[in-house]
Structure 1
Amino acid sequence: MDELTDIKLLRKRLNLTQSDLAKQANVSQSLIAKIESNKLEPTYSKAKKIFDTLNNLSGQQENKAKDVMTTIAISVSAEDPIKKAINLMRKHEISQLPVIQNNLVCGMISETTILNNIEDLEKPISAVMEFAPPSVSSETNLSIITTLLKLCPLILVQDKGKVKGIITKADILRNV
C-alpha cells in the first residue's frame, strides 16, 4: 500500500477535493482531513478503501501476486540432505527453498539455516527446516505481499491447494 502521506498528493493530482474523495471512497471528509494532516492513522480497511478509490480513479490497479511471482517453484524434500539444498540454491542463485513432504509444503530452508547447521551436510532437511512460509492466492494485492515479506523471506502462491509459484523480496524489486 502507498504511504498515508501520499493521499494528499494523489488526491491533488486527480484534482479532487477532500469531499470528492470522501464520497467516492465512502468515508467522511473529516477522516480524509485528519489523515492528510497526520492527526489520525486510519484502520487498514479505511486506508484500503481510500487507496483503492485513488487507484481506480487514476486508472491504476494494484499488481497481484500472479504479476510478480516466480512460476518455476524449486523445492526440496524433507528427507533430502542439506547438501542437496545447497546445490540447488547455488545452481539457481536463490537463498531459500520450500520443503515438501507428502505433496504439501511443510517448511522452508534458508541460507541462514544452512549456516547454522554447516557441520553436518548429510543431515536431513526435516531436522533443521524452519516453519512453512505463509501462502497467498494469486489474486492477493502486492501491498499485502510486501507487508508479509517484511516478516518472512519467502511467500508461497497457492490456488486450490496447489503451489503455483513463490515470491521473494527480489521478485518485488525486479518489478518496481
Structure 2
Amino acid sequence: MDDRELRWAQLMRSALAGDGAAYEQLLRELAPALRTVVQRRLVRLGAPTAETEDVVQETLLAVHLKRHTWRTEDPLGPWLWTIARNKMVDHLRRRGRRVEVPVEDFAEFLPAPEERPDTGAMEVEQHLALLPQKQQAVLRSVAVEGASVAETAERMRMTPGAVRVALHRAFASLSARLREE
C-alpha cells in the first residue's frame, strides 16, 4: 500500500469518527485520482472522455453512501477502486453500445431543421426558463447565438467537454419535456 492510500485510509477513519474536515479533505484528494483512472479507462474502452465527470461524481456519491461498509482495518484502495470499477460498468451499461460523434464535426453537412411554425419566441423562452442556469447559458450561446463550443467554453470559463455535456443535458431535458407535452 502506498503513502497516498495510507493517508486516505487515515482520513477515512477520522471521517468515520466524525471529523468533517478530514472527510472533506479525503474527497478533495480522491476526486483527481478518480478522474485520472476513469478517464484512462474510458479512453481504453473507446468511450467519450466527456463522460469522465459523470462517473467520478457517481463514484464519490457511492463512497459517501457506502462509507460505513468500509472496514477500518482494511486498506481503502481496493474498496475505493472496486466502487469506481462498478460505477464505470454501470455507466457503460446504461450508455449501451452507442458511438457518439461530436455534431460540430458534421454541422456544415447537415441541413438546418425546419422551424416549427407554432414555435414562438415566447414558447422557447418558457422552455429555456425551466433549465438550470448553466444549461440555459450554454444552450443560448450555442443554439441561439450560434457560438461554437470552443467560443462558449472560453466565454463561460468551462472546458469544451463540459460545454458539450451541458448542451447534451439541456437538449435531453428539453426533448423529454416536449415529448411529455
Q: Which has the higher strand share?
A: 1
Which protein, 1 or 2, shows the higher relative CO under an 8 Å CA cutoff with sep ≥ 6?
1
TM-score of the superposed pair, with normalisation by structure 1: 0.30
Q: Which has the higher helix share?
A: 2
